[in-house]
Amino acid sequence: MVYSVFLSHNTTDREWVEQIEQKLWREGIRPYLFEYNPQPGEPVSEKIENAIGKSDAFVVLVTEEGQFSKWLNAEIGYAKAADIPIIPLVDERINNPELPFIGGTEYIRINPKNIGDALPVLVKDLSKRKVKKHLFWGVLAVGFSYLFVHDKLVKKKSESSKHGIDLDNQHRTD
């Protein structure tokens, strides 16, 4: 089962985003970047909203250049509406990020000279979330399997008792 992350960013931060993207791929996490999914003629807002809705988590890169981007704020709003975890990566040169949707959200500080320092923290957090997702689906699958088998056994017992057969003791009851 793939764990996917929407990477929200300003186009001026392309170099940083490529480093994040490469690290996530190496860790078995599938990043989604708007630029890699061209859909000419389609409304951009729908494309982004759909991609965010299909993601397991939302990582937003907040830099000095990008913090005032209308798209960044819109994408954060879509992630909030989709009720998926939002993990901000904030340029350490910014004292208080000017993004109203992430106010009060804990974030990861990044050094613009070495973004790689923050990536282990991001990967560790996403990896924990990935494990939780896999555990949830695993437990759910086991639960459904149990219910399916239990239902089959109950039906079989019911049918057998109609014909005078005791399945628990393997002999006829009449």
Q: Point out the least confidently predicted range of 60-69, 75-84, 114-123, 131-140.
A: 131-140
State the amino acid at position 10 in one-letter form.
Answer: N
User: What number is the average pLDDT over the span 62-76?
Assistant: 88
Q: Which residue has the tokens 């923290």?
A: 121
Residue 112 has what DSSP assignment? T
Return the structure tokens found at 114: 């070495």
Element containing residue 166 per DSSP (H, E): strand 165-166
62, 87 Cβ separation under 8 angstroms: no
Q: Which fold has domain 3-134?
A: Rossmann fold (3.40.50)
> pLDDT at position 30, please?
92
Highest mean pLDDT among 21-25, 64-68, 119-123: 21-25
> pLDDT at position 21, please?
93
Nearest-angstrom CA–CA distance, 162 and 169: 15
* Long-range contacts, stretch 11-14, CB < 8 angstroms, 24+ apart: 11/35, 12/63, 12/65, 12/66, 13/61, 13/63, 13/65, 13/66
For the segment 19-63, what is each residue's pLDDT rounded down to a tens digit? 999 989 998 889 999 888 888 998 989 999 999 999 999 999 999
pTM of the full structure: 0.71
Cα 3 versus chain centre, distance: 6
For the segment 74-117, what is each residue's pLDDT rounded down to a tens digit? 999 999 999 999 999 999 998 876 666 677 788 889 888 887 78
Cβ-Cβ contacts under 8 Å for 158 (sequence gap 6 or more): none
> pLDDT at position 64, please?
87
- For the chain, the structural domain boundaries read 3-134, 141-172
> pLDDT at position 136, please?
46
Q: How far apart, in Å, are the Cα atoms of 143 and each of 46, 85, 150?
A: 36, 26, 10
> pLDDT at position 158, please?
64
